């Protein structure tokens, strides 16, 4: 985006009209978006920042456009996130993390159809690893250490959330951000994506990176 003088002047004016508290809020949520990509209202540490982001959205939108990012608000799923318009600063997942993400998306699709008292979606780790094993992409089961490392990467990037130590009974919350990470809304297409990925990997055993 080409930043015009008018854009800069409008942003400066809006910023100066903010209270000191809102200037602090703006700085905090901007840095959180740059560091974490997502602000998710259902996460305890993000709830206040989500609503502050909505209040400051116009300023955030202008500010991030200066550095070639688009700020997106999903008020249905209560997520604020940024995405690059110039292919900058993407985070990468290795093969195992990618497979887990695809399976989490599959489980999210399935479980959202179930009647629950909340919008939260949970799955046991045993159920996820059963799906991983069904792919037959790995000749031997993943170790607890490998699973722990992958799950922590996905949690750090706000794809899933969990509180306990890794075990088969670990209950994992699949965050609505999975719909953005794996932008597929059709079960058949998602299953086809997993099968195609497996076929590609059969001829390549090395760990690869996925956006």
pTM: 0.83
Determine phi and psi for 18, rounding to 5 degrees. -75, 150
* Selection from 5, 8, 52 nearest residue 27 by Cα: 52
Whether residue 207 is predicted with pLDDT greater than 90 in this model: the reply is no
Distance, CA of 42 to CA of 179 (rounded, Å): 15
Phi-psi sector, 18: left (phi>0), alpha (psi -120 to 50), beta: beta
Residue 94 sits at φ, ψ, to 5 deg, of -80, -175
Indicate the pLDDT class of residue 53, thresholds 50, 70 and 90. very high
Q: Name the pairing type of β-strands 69-74 and 79-84.
A: antiparallel
User: Who wins on pLDDT, 186 or 189?
Assistant: 189
**pLDDT value at residue 136:** 83
* 39 in Cβ contact with 33 (< 8 Å): yes
**What is the pLDDT, as a whole number, of residue 121?**
93
Q: What is the DSSP letter of 86?
A: S
> What pLDDT does residue 115 have?
62
What is the per-residue pLDDT across 123-159, written as a single tens digit (0 to 9) for each? 999 999 999 988 888 888 899 999 999 999 999 999 9
Query: Which residue matches tokens 């509180």?
Result: 163
Residue pair 101/211 in contact by the 8 Å Cβ criterion: no
**Which structural domains are found in the chain, ordered by start?**
5-84 (no CATH), 95-202 (1.10.10)
The mean pLDDT value of the chain amounts to: 86
Confidence of residue 100 (pLDDT cuts 50, 70, 90): very high
Burial class from Cβ neighbours inside 10 Å (0-12, 13-18, 19+) for residue 54 reads: middle
**What pLDDT is stored for residue 208 in this prediction?**
42
pLDDT of 112 over the 50 cut: yes
Task: Tell me what pLDDT residue 40 has.
Answer: 97
- Res 209 pLDDT > 50: no
Is the pLDDT at 1 greater than 70, yes or no?
A: no
């Amino acid at each position: 985006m080409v930043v015009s003088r008018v854009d800069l002047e409008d942003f400066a004016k809006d910023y100066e009209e903010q209270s000191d508290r809102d200037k602090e809020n703006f700085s905090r949520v901007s840095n959180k978006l740059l560091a974490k990509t997502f602000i998710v209202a259902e996460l305890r540490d993000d709830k206040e920042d989500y609503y502050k982001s909505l209040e400051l959205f116009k300023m955030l939108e202008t500010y991030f456009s200066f550095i070639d990012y688009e700020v997106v608000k999903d008020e249905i799923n209560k997520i604020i996130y940024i995405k690059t318009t110039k292919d900058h600063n993407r985070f990468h997942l290795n093969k195992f993390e990618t497979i887990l993400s695809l399976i989490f998306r599959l489980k999210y699709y399935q479980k959202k159809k179930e009647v629950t008292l909340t919008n939260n979606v949970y799955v046991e780790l045993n159920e996820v690893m059963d799906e991983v094993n069904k792919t037959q992409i790995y000749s031997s089961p993943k170790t607890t250490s490998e699973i722990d490392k992958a799950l922590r990467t996905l949690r750090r990037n706000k794809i899933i959330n969990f509180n306990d130590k890794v075990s088969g009974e670990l209950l994992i919350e699949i965050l609505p951000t999975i719909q953005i990470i794996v932008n597929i809304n059709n079960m058949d297409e998602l299953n086809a994506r997993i099968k195609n990925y497996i076929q590609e990997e059969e001829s390549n055993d090395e760990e690869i990176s996925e956006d």
